[in-house]
């Protein structure tokens, strides 16, 4: 082709210089010829089946995720109730200690513990020693259960 010496080493198509990839014989992925396009059609059908299969897996993954979220929510509610019970019991004990200091009496003096069933049958005691032991036991039970539930609250890897 005619032209100056700088253009003599470059190939041209329709009077325009070829890009570096075409001059070196490499073809970009975007310039697929008709044979490659015809061969890609079966892959598209296969990929549609793969997409359907993937959607099925996604749905089952979604169900698993939703079940996990439900279980975590249930455990969170249990945790919140235990924290509330522990807080209420601690507030009660603090109030009792304050009252006992003012009156120079036993911490649970004047308290009454009542257990009542759904048929209105009840057990009551005013014994401060029993009330103290029951309060300590309930607190220990709640703290142990809280630790157990908090150990179960995690997101799997």
| Residue, of 138 and 157, whose pLDDT is higher | 138
pLDDT of residue 123: 96
Phi, psi dihedrals of residue 96, rounded to the nearest 5°: -65, -40
- 50-90 pLDDT, tens digit per residue, is 676 766 777 778 888 999 999 999 999 999 999 999 999 99
Per-residue buried b or exposed e for 55-65, using 16+ beta carbons within 10 Å of the residue's own CB: eeeeeeeeeee
Q: Whole-prediction pTM value?
A: 0.57
Q: Considering only CA atoms, which of 78, 82, 89 is closest in space to residue 113?
A: 89
Whether 151 has a pLDDT exceeding 60, the answer reads yes
d(CA 58, CA 49): 14
The arithmetic mean of pLDDT across residues 81-101, rounded, is 93
- 6-27 pLDDT, tens digit per residue, is 444 556 655 566 555 555 555 5
Q: So where are the chain's domains? A: 33-115+123-152
């Amino acid at each position: 082709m005619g032209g100056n010496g700088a253009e003599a080493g470059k190939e041209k198509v329709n009077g325009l210089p070829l890009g570096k990839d075409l001059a070196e014989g490499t073809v970009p992925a975007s310039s697929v010829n008709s044979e490659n396009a015809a061969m890609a059609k079966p892959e598209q059908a296969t990929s549609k089946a793969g997409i359907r299969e993937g959607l099925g897996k996604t749905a089952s993954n979604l169900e698993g995720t939703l079940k996990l979220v439900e279980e975590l929510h249930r455990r969170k509610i249990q945790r919140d109730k235990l924290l509330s019970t522990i807080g209420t019991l601690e507030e009660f004990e603090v109030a009792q200690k304050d009252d006992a200091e003012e009156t120079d009496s036993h911490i649970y003096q004047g308290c009454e513990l009542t257990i009542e069933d759904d048929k209105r049958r009840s057990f009551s005691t005013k014994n401060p020693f029993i009330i103290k032991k029951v309060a300590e036991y309930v607190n220990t039970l709640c703290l142990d259960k809280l630790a157990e539930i908090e150990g179960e609250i995690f997101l799997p890897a």
